[in-house]
Structures are given as C-alpha cells and as structure tokens.
C-alpha cells in the first residue's frame, strides 16, 4: 500500500458510501488521507457505549461538547453503536434535541459536516426530560438507557457528563446511584466526567470529592481540565522526556525563573453568573496554570501510565509553596473601561450582572517556589487575566545570564537572557531566544529567535482539547485527568493567597487592553525581573 493511498477501513463511517460527496474516497474505494478527516495519530476507537450529558443546554455543551462528539464520529473514532442522551428540564422530543445538536454541530464542529456521519449519529440521539431531584425522571432515564443497550448495542457502558454547577453534583450522583445507573458490572462500565470548578477552596473540594467518590470509585471519575487536552500541553512531556537536549539545563543551575501566562482579550460580558465571586485565581490558576506548572516541573515518570504521571505531578505539587509576603509576591486587578484595539470596552463594574462593588479579580498573579533540589531558588511567576493586550498562553523558561561575557559592554547592550518559550496558544510552537553576532566588522551580539511552529511543520490539524478528553474518558485512559489529590493540593497552594485577598477589599484597576495592574509589574521588578510582553 502506498503512503498516499490507504484502503478504506470497513469500520469507518466513510465505508458505507464510496461517494460521500466530499472527495475523500475515490472510485476504487481508496481513501485519500489528505481529504479524509479520519485521524491517523489517534487510531484508538472507543468500544461500544454511550454518553449522557447533564446541562446539555449550557454554553459548554453547545460550543464544545456536542461539536467534539460529532468531530470524533466524523474521524471514525466512535463506535457505530454510539448513543448520546441529553437530560434536562426542557420538554423536548427526540426530534427537538436532534435539531438542537445539529445546529450546535454545524456551528461549532472543527471538521466538515457530512450528512452520512450525522445521520448515523442522529439515530442514537435521545432526550429525557426531568429535574435533578426527580425520581421518576431518573427511572425513565434508566429505562431509556436499557432500551438503547438492547436496540443500539451500547452494552451497558455509560459515561455521565456533569456539565452542571457543582451545587447540583450531590443530587445527580444520588439519583444515578438510586436508579442503579452508577454501578459498573463485571462486563460493563459506568463513569462520570466532571467539569470544574471542583469546589471554591480546599474544604469544599474535599466535600465534593467525598460526595462524588461515595457513588463512583476514583478510577471511574474523570475530572476535565481542558488544558491537558491541548496538543501543545502534551508536547511539554514529549519535549522534556523524548529529548536529550533540554534536560541537562532544566534545573536551578541554569534556569533563572519561569513565567506561566494565560492572557485573554475577552471580557466577562454574559458570564457574571458564573464568574462573580470566583475570580481569575480560582477560575484559571487553581487548575490550568498549576497543571502547566506540574508538567514543566515534575520529574520523569517511570512510564507513561496514568498512575506514574499522576504520581509525579502529585509529588511536585506537594513541594509547591506560595512565596510570602503576599503584599509583595501576589497581585490582582479588575479591568476598567478603555480601548482594546479599536474597540472601547466597558469595565468589569459596568458589565451586565456584576455588582459594581464586586471585589472579584479579573487578573491574578502569584509567585510560587518549589521545594526540591531541581527547583530551589527558581521562582515560578504565574499570571492570568481577562481583557489583556492579546490572547496568549505560554510558558517561558528564562535562563541565567552567562557567568562571564568576554565582549565589550557596548557590544552586548541588546543581549538579554536566553529563553525557551512554549507557546500553548495561539501560534502553537516553541521559541528559543539566544544571542547571535550581528553581521559586520564589530563583535556585536544581540538576541535572535529560533522558532518552531506547529502549523509550518505538521499538516495535521490539532484536535480540539474536548475531542481528545472525551475519547480518553470513553477509552478509560486516565492520564490527562487530574485526580482528587491533585485538585486538593492545588487548592492548598492557592487558599492562603485567596484568604489574604479576601481581607483586602477591592482589587486595583487596570485599563482594558493593557497587561494588567502595576502591582503585577512591581512583583517582578522587586526581584530585578520583568514580565515578557508576548
Ligand atoms: C476556562 C475558564 O476554563 O478556560 C474561562 O473558565 C476561560 O474563563 C477559558 O475563558 C479559556 O480557555 P481557552 O481554551 O480558550 O484558553
């Protein structure tokens, strides 16, 4: 078989029709891999089973989960028997729910819409009406799933996706337990997928974990941190542990400090209900940024199994401690009305639904230390914010200056510290910054960049994080899901900072479109450092 032609897989959704109208299959039944969305790097196909989504009318389900399920089906990674059941209060028929899912897919899917794939998926789509406390409705749900097991072949394997506020977890878990839907059997599985926020501090996270774990054993719980589903985040592990180049300098001998940035240009319009009282630290640092830190700082796992990966992440999170005093080593802010690019945007206090007196921060920064031989003395500066200069997530490892420069000082005026920047998004890639001679007769040295860009090197488009994570949950592949212990350790790191802020009233304002409050700049200036301006 040639590289460019691959025989049509009889199990693939494309197999049913040699002419599906999008040019992916030619007349001999051969697939042109460049046009076929079937994934070549993730050929793992989920076995028989289905998913029930609670909170299916919410933003996350509409924008991310439903499109991701279609994309998986379109890539041939879901079984033919896959079933998708929505549960909610609306009085929807099967057809109403089908229409809703179709619109969400047409608007949000990453891969092309193909009628044949859709039709097959739509056959397995059902809706059950009910509230989270309604015994009778959960009994109907149980009957529906049993019927699908018989008619569609889902084989008793069900994943329950709780895309709902954590306050509803106890009711739903209790109902799943009561109606016999939560218990795995010898030859079928039941799993629960839960979305953050996993509590709002250590105590509430412990309580939430207790409730979930009282119904589902920990190995049946999949906590989503969608950053772990991003290709560039997984690439941190590939770069660190598949190469010899970086490891020798990945420590306090060579690294001066690490900056982890997750900046967004969007504001909070429309999200007040979720965000007010939560804030940037709980929303992003507690989960996404501490997970990034763990991947950057952890030791090499013995193997790439969930247990080994989680063990290393837990070990490093246990060694993390916030640097004090918090008056100097943390910063927070609230965006104020200003120009962001060519738009004049409102400040947080003018956003609909926000209490003008709200003390919720939209920018948070903190300094962490890791008490280990590898990282002693290397500060990790973490920052995140809304309405900042631009959308960018990156991890910058900034190296110590060379101990001695045998050049005239004037010749190195434009030489900074070496840096390695992992660009998580957008412009996914890795950048190395180092000094190079400027062409000419003088020995002048200045910074240059060496840039690896995903889009230039790979023809494959990265799957969406939710595609990867939903597939992994169906496959019982737990590597990319934080455990209850990781979640609790992350709260333990953050709680003292949040408690300190809570006593301090309103955060400082920062203009929309800027790079955050001045206290965040001072936080680094005190250490003789500066934030990168990505
Ligand atoms: C979510 C946060 O977890 O991540 C949001 O709750 C944030 O506030 C979002 O906007 C950002 O995700 P991404 O993938 O666009 O960087």
Once rounded to an integer, what is the mean pLDDT over residues 51-72?
96
Token pair recorded at residue 409:
């000082």
- Is 446 marked within a binding site? no
Q: Is the pLDDT of residue 227 over 60?
A: yes
**What's the pLDDT at 9?**
38
pLDDT given at position 274: 85
> 3-state DSSP call for residue 474?
helix
**Residue 23: pLDDT band by 50, 70, 90 thresholds?**
very low
Q: How far is the CA of 153 from the centre of ligand 1 (A)?
A: 36
Give the closest residue (by CA) to ligand 1 atom 11.
Answer: 264
Residue 344: strand, helix, or coil: strand
Q: Residues lining ligand 1, judged by CB closer than 6 Å?
A: 226, 264, 283-284, 393
| Residue in 174, 257, 288, 522 annotated catalytic | 288
Distance from Cα 425 to the centre of ligand 1, integer Å: 12
Among residues 518, 233, 230, 259, the alpha carbon closest in space to that of 363 is found at 518
Q: Is the confidence at residue 531, as pLDDT, over 70?
A: yes
User: Is the per-residue pLDDT at 176 higher than 50?
Assistant: yes
Ligand 1 centroid, distance to 264 Cα (angstroms): 8
- For residue 326, what pLDDT band results from cuts at 50, 70 and 90? very high
**Could you tell me the sign of the dihedral formed by the alpha carbons of 125, 129, 131, 133, in that order?**
negative
- 257 among annotated binding-site residues: no
Q: Are strands 221-224 and 190-195 parallel, antiparallel or unpaired?
A: parallel
If you take atom 6 of ligand 1, which residue's CA is the nearest one?
283
CA–CA dist 136, 274 (Å, integer): 30
> Is 313 flagged in the annotation as binding?
no
Give the nearest ligand 1 atom to 391 CA: 16
Q: Is 89 annotated as a binding residue?
A: yes
| Cα 110 to middle of ligand 1, angstroms | 18
What is the tens place of the pLDDT at every residue in 428-456? 999 999 999 999 999 999 999 999 999 89
Check if the beta carbon of residue 187 is closer than 8 Å to that of residue 144.
no
Given a cut of 90, whether residue 254 has pLDDT beyond it is yes
Q: What dihedral angle (degrees, nearest 10) is formed by the CA atoms of 370, 371, 372, 374? A: 40
- For all residues of the chain together, what is the average pLDDT? 91
158 pLDDT band, cuts 50/70/90, is very high
Predicted pLDDT of residue 44: 84
Place 228 in a pLDDT band, splitting at 50, 70 and 90.
very high
How far, rounded to the nearest angstrom, does the alpha carbon of residue 255 sit from its chain's CA centroid?
A: 26
Average pLDDT over residues 374-379: 98
Residue whose Cα lies nearest atom 13 of ligand 1: it is 227
Half-sphere exposure of residue 85, counting CA atoms within 13 Å on the CB side? 26
| pLDDT at residue 40, as a whole number | 53
**288 in catalytic set:** yes
Q: What is the pTM of this model?
A: 0.90
Kindly state the DSSP code that residue 249 receives in the 8-state scheme: G
Neighbour count for residue 276 (Cβ, 10 Å): 17
- Pick from 8, 193, 159, 142: nearest CA to 82: 159
What is the reported pLDDT for 442? 92
In this structure, which residue's CA is closest to atom 8 in ligand 1?
283
CB atoms within 10 A of CB 373: 8
Distance from Cα 112 to the centre of ligand 1, integer Å: 25
| CA-to-CA separations, 464 to 64, 67, 127, 230, 468, in angstroms, rounded | 9, 10, 25, 7, 7
Q: Spell out the residues 6+ positions from residue 212 whose beta carbon is closer than 8 angstroms to its own.
A: 169, 173, 192, 194, 221
Cα–Cα distance between 532 and 389 in angstroms, integer?
12
**265 secondary structure, DSSP code:** -
- Give 455 or 384, the one with higher predicted confidence: 384
Is residue 136 pLDDT above 70, yes or no? yes
- Stretch 499-528: mean pLDDT: 96
Q: What is the pLDDT of residues 334-372, one digit of tens each?
A: 999 999 888 999 999 999 888 888 999 999 999 999 999
**Res 7: pLDDT:** 33
Rounded to the nearest 10°, the torsion over CA 312, 316, 319, 325 is -160
Question: Which of 200, 283, 361, 425 most suits a substitution to test ligand 1, by most atoms within 8 Å of the C-beta?
Answer: 283
> Residue 51 pairs with which residues in a beta bridge?
84, 159
Mean pLDDT of 193-207: 94
Share of the chain above pLDDT 70, in %: 92
ω before 325 within 30° of 0 (cis)? yes
- pLDDT-derived band at 43, boundaries 50, 70, 90: low
């Amino acid at each position: 078989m040639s590289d460019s032609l691959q025989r049509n897989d009889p199990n693939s959704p494309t197999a049913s029709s040699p002419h599906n109208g999008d040019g992916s299959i030619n007349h001999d039944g051969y697939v042109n891999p460049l046009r076929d969305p079937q994934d070549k790097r993730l050929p793992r196909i989920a076995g028989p089973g289905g998913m029930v989504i609670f909170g299916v009318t919410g933003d996350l389900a509409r924008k991310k989960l439903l499109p991701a399920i279609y994309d998986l089906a379109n890539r041939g990674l879901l079984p033919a028997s896959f079933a998708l059941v929505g549960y909610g209060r609306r009085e929807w028929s099967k057809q109403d729910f089908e229409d809703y899912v179709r619109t969400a897919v047409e608007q949000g899917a990453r891969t092309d819409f193909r009628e044949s794939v859709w039709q097959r998926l739509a056959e397995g789509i059902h809706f059950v009406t009910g509230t989270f406390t309604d015994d009778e409705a959960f009994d109907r749900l149980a009957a529906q799933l049993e019927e699908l097991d018989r008619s569609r072949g889902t084989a008793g394997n069900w994943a329950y996706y709780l895309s709902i506020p954590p306050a509803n977890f106890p009711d739903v878990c209790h109902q799943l337990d009561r109606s016999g839907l939560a218990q795995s059997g010898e030859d079928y599985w039941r799993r629960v997928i839960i979305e953050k926020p996993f509590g709002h501090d250590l105590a509430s996270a412990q309580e939430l974990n207790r409730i979930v774990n009282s119904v589902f054993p920990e190995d049946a719980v999949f906590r989503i941190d969608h950053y772990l589903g991003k290709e560039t985040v997984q690439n941190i592990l590939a770069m660190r542990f598949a190469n010899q180049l970086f490891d020798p300098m990945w420590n306090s001998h060579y690294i001066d400090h690490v900056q982890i940035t997750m900046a967004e240009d969007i504001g909070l319009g429309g999200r007040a209900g979720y965000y007010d009282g939560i804030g940037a630290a709980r929303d992003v640092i507690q989960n996404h940024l501490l997970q990034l830190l763990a991947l950057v700082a952890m030791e090499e796992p013995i193997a790439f199994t969930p247990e080994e990966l989680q063990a290393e992440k837990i070990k490093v999170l246990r060694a993390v401690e916030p640097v004090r005093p918090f008056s100097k080593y943390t910063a927070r802010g609230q965006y104020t009305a200003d120009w962001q690019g060519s738009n004049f945007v409102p400040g947080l206090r003018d956003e609909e639904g926000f209490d003008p007196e709200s003390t919720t921060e939209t920018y948070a920064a903190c300094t962490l230390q890791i008490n280990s031989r590898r990282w002693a003395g290397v500060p990790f500066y973490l920052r995140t914010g809304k309405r900042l200069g631009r959308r960018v997530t990156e991890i910058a490892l900034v190296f110590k200056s060379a101990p001695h420069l045998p050049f005239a000082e004037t010749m190195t005026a434009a030489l900074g510290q070496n840096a390695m920047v992992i660009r998580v998004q957008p412009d996914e890639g890795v950048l190395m910054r180092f000094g190079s001679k400027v062409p000419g007769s003088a020995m002048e040295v200045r910074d240059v960049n060496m840039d690896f860009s995903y889009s230039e090197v790979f023809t494959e488009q990265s799957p969406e994080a939710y595609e990867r994570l939903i597939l992994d949950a169906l496959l019982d592949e737990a590597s990319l899901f934080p455990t209850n212990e990781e979640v609790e350790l992350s709260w333990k790191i953050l709680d003292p900072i949040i408690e300190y802020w809570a006593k301090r009233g309103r955060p400082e304002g920062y203009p929309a479109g800027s790079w955050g409050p001045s206290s965040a700049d001072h936080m680094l200036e005190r250490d003789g450092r500066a934030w990168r301006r990505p």
